[in-house]
Amino acid sequence: MTDQQISRIAEEAGALDCIVEKDAVLKDHTTFKIGGRCSLLVKLRGEESFLKLIPLAEQLGVTYYIFGKGSNLIVDSDGIEGVVFVSGKDFSEIIRKDDEALICTAGTPLSQICGAALEYGLTGLEFAYGIPGTLGGAVFMNAGAYGGEMKDVVVSVRAMDRTGRVIEYSADELDFSYRHSRFSESGEIVLSAEIRLRKGDKAAIREKMDELMEKRRSKQPLEYPSAGSTFKRPEGSYASLLIEQCGLKGVHVGDAEVSVKHSGFIINKGNADFSQLMELIGIVKDTVKEKTGYQLECEPLIISDKEEYKAERKGTE
């Protein structure tokens, strides 16, 4: 990647009124608070910037990533070579389509969408209250909690391919499954989604949201940086149960620690870096495999230029 390529993207992004930062520190853009510098960071501003800058990066042959709130990412502390496009508050909009449907753009935080649903007296999205991600990332990985998933409420998605062509998919074309959607493999980018809910009682919706948030606070280590659940649920068991059975609660490498409060979370207790985190993840995987036979798989996406991690990089959130 050359300085000329980076400068070209920076120039085009500036013309689209995007915020541009060279050598940006990525720990400021992930919930783990881990990550080194990238060549260029661009805060996308509206759909036009998606449609112009992503195809430009493709044409130039530049490596790039798309971040939302960085809530499902593990980023190398040594930094990465490439452009990070951030889809956030400058691509955040909620439109009420009808009495029971909302259209939300990719950068809209789930907390904001849940708030809008409450305001309109719409039920069905309470499970997402407290998930620290954006609409785009939630659709990408079919985010879920407490018995609900995005597949239960998303009825259509507008996406673009890497050439800038816009496509609309109905729910049955999205290939939703556990922490998976068609976007996990297709390379397409979520622009917006229609969420269809049901009319409900505002007081009951508020009560359910508060109940689930209190459950999160009491059972999850929200006081520390993390990427939420570190491992996917293996078929036939639960990652947290297996980790606890193996006596791994509290095990740490530097400031990376298996949470004592919830063994499914690996947390950053202060100054953990990528190497510490990955070493601890390896210890957990190896121990669980040896003692139980289960092979755990990371839920967060790993972003690193190191060869051993490139095979695990399937997308961004």
Among residues of the chain, what percentage have pLDDT more than 70? 97
Q: What is the pLDDT of residue 314?
A: 41
The helix/strand/coil state of 133 is coil
Q: pTM for the complete prediction? A: 0.90
Q: What is the pLDDT of residue 315?
A: 42
Q: What is the pLDDT of residue 310?
A: 67
Q: Residue 4: exposed, middle, or buried by beta-carbon count in 10 A (0-12, 13-18, 19+)?
A: exposed
DSSP-derived secondary structure letter, 233 = P
In the chain, which residues have pLDDT < 50?
312-317
Q: What rounded mean pLDDT belongs to the chain?
A: 94
Q: Catalogue the active-site residues.
A: 179, 229, 299
C-beta of residue 269 within 8 angstroms of C-beta of residue 252: yes
Region at 20 (left for phi over 0; alpha for psi -120 to 50; beta for the rest): beta
- Token digits of residue 247: 């006596």
Q: What is the pLDDT of residue 316?
A: 47
Residue 293 CA neighbour count, 13 Å, CB half: 3
Q: Which residues of 296-308 are buried (b: 16+ CB within 10 A; e: fewer)?
A: bebbbbbbbeeee
What whole-number distance in Å separates Cα of residue 248 and Cα of residue 128?
Answer: 29
C-beta of residue 157 within 8 angstroms of C-beta of residue 189: no
